Amino acid sequence: MPVRKIADAAKKRDIVVLVDGAHTFAHFEFLIPDLNCDYFGTSLHKWLGAPIGTGFLYVRKEKIKTTWPLFGAGDNNEDNIRKFEHLGTRPFYIEEAIDKAIDFHDMIGSKRKEERLLFLKNYWMNKVKDIPKVKLHTSFKKEFGCAIGLVSVDGKEPGALDSYLWQHYKIHTVGIVWENIRGVRVTPNVYTSTKNLDRLAEGIEAFAKS
């Protein structure tokens, strides 16, 4: 998506830019500073594979001093980004697990991971695209989703397909009904096999025929 283009236009009007990068970080290859944003926040459990509850915040250096942390710090006006790390008592082993997730990501490599995720998305979408009543709402192109695919079945609610895949095939997906978006989001990760995706396609076809 054209984040840099939007950020550049906003900066010309002195608009502060905050990017919600929950589904981008460790998913496909990019550098946060290249987005020209002031703030970038992301969770780390989605595509990096770190424990739930982990994440990170990027703050442009010149914005640190004027941004107050959510929890009290020694000096709210300090220009050290570590003032945002006051999180109270928490299990430290969760943070330590982030290191292992980063090591695993680096072992694969950002580019290879991106290519693998795109391959998996296009694999299952190609298997279901010609099934009667099945509709795809995501492009096969990398820049419009990479691993994320959205599918629906004419005349059926997204929640019904979501439930069917779990109950009959033990496949976890996410049914979405939000504004003009209606479908089931499918997000295979690097460890997903084509055999797994064959089973997904089988389930979608069976549901469409039911």
Domains for the chain: give ranges and CATH numbers.
Answer: 3-108 (3.40.640.10), 110-209 (3.90.1150.10)
Percent of the chain surpassing pLDDT 90: 81
Lowest-confidence region among 38-52, 60-74, 182-196: 60-74
Q: What are phi and psi of 7, to 5 degrees?
A: -65, -45
Q: What tokens does 25 get?
A: 């970080």
Radius of gyration of the chain (CA): 20
Q: Output the average pLDDT for the chain.
A: 94
Q: What is the pLDDT of residue 88?
A: 76
Neighbouring-strand partners of residue 182: 177
Provide the sign of the torsion angle of the four alpha carbons 81, 82, 83, 88, taken in this order: positive
Q: What tokens does 189 get?
A: 């990760």
Other beta carbons within 10 Å of 46: 19
The whole-angstrom separation of Cα 99 and Cα 49 is 11
Provide the sign of the torsion angle of the four alpha carbons 2, 27, 23, 90, taken in this order: negative
Mean pLDDT to the nearest integer, 78-103: 88
Q: Please give the residue that has the higher pLDDT: either 84 or 143.
A: 84
Q: What is the pLDDT of residue 14?
A: 96
Lowest-confidence region among 96-110, 116-130, 135-149: 135-149
Do residues 69 and 87 lie in contact, with contact meaning Cβ atoms separated by under 8 Å? no
Confidence of residue 192 (pLDDT cuts 50, 70, 90): very high
Do residues 15 and 43 lie in contact, with contact meaning Cβ atoms separated by under 8 Å? no
Q: What is the pLDDT of residue 87?
A: 73
Q: What tokens does 58 get?
A: 């990027």
Q: What is the pLDDT of residue 160?
A: 98
Confidence of residue 163 (pLDDT cuts 50, 70, 90): very high
Q: Please give the residue that has the higher pLDDT: either 39 or 142.
A: 39
Percent of the chain surpassing pLDDT 70: 100
DSSP codes joined into one string, the chain: --HHHHHHHHHTTT---EEE-TTTTTTS---GGGGT-SEEEEESSSSS-PPTT-EEEEE-HHHHTT---SS--S-TT---GGGGG---S--HHHHHHHHHHHHHHHHH-HHHHHHHHHHHHHHHHHHHTTSTTEEE-S-SSGGGTTT-EEEEETTS-HHHHHHHHHHHH----EEEEETTEEEEEE---TT--HHHHHHHHHHHHHHHH-
Mean pLDDT to the nearest integer, 115-122: 96
Q: What is the pLDDT of residue 49?
A: 94
